[in-house]
Copies of this chain bind each other. A is one copy, B any other.
């Protein structure tokens, strides 16, 4: 009687969390283009102006691929989640927070690499790596939460799935820190190159690293229809 509320806010299905997250990822991945600007060059120099912006295109590509991987990860994780609670909402909002930051270091890297100060370029690449590592750290928190909350997961989810994902997130933290150190200590462009490669590496391993029996299963469903 002295309970003025009810059960409705405590557990809920994940549909709104998914819709909200999808919209956030969609906006982030699309906002990146706002940093590709008409080059501010004298008349007749548009072509070289466009070409000289190449670090902006590379940074755009790296961040686009990163957000795409984040979305695929998110989709794959929520496919395994049955119900969400407040704690899951907050770790999810932490993932969205770090992902939403990404356009900022992307702009910083793009800008620094189009100017010619080595020290600023080192700082910019290190800054991008910092946010990249923070994003992996938010996934670590997300997977860690789920590894301990089997009651939120669908029954058929393997007990070892989220602990294994946790390892992948931790490797991501380490790789971004390493890329930042290489970019800062060795050469900024080397760091940028790693930022482009890392999502590709992730895309490949996410479907292959610990999913050995996958090939066998795929073989049962022929990828090209022979009929």
Contact = CB atoms under 8 A, between A and B. Distances in A.
B164 A38 contact: no
Contacts of A6: 80, 156-158, 161
B221 A8 contact: no
What is the oligomeric copy number? 4
A76 B11 CA distance: 10
Interface in A72-131: 72, 75-76, 79-80, 86, 89-90, 93, 96-97, 100-101, 103-104, 107-108, 111-112, 115-117, 119-120, 123-124, 127
A42 to B, nearest CB: 9
Contacts of A24: 26, 29-30
Interface of A: 2-10, 12, 16, 18-20, 22-34, 36-38, 43-47, 50, 64, 68, 71-72, 75-76, 79-80, 86, 89-90, 93, 96-97, 100-101, 103-104, 107-108, 111-112, 115-117, 119-120, 123-124, 127, 148-151, 154, 156-158, 160-161, 163-164, 203, 206-207, 210-214, 217-218, 221-225, 227
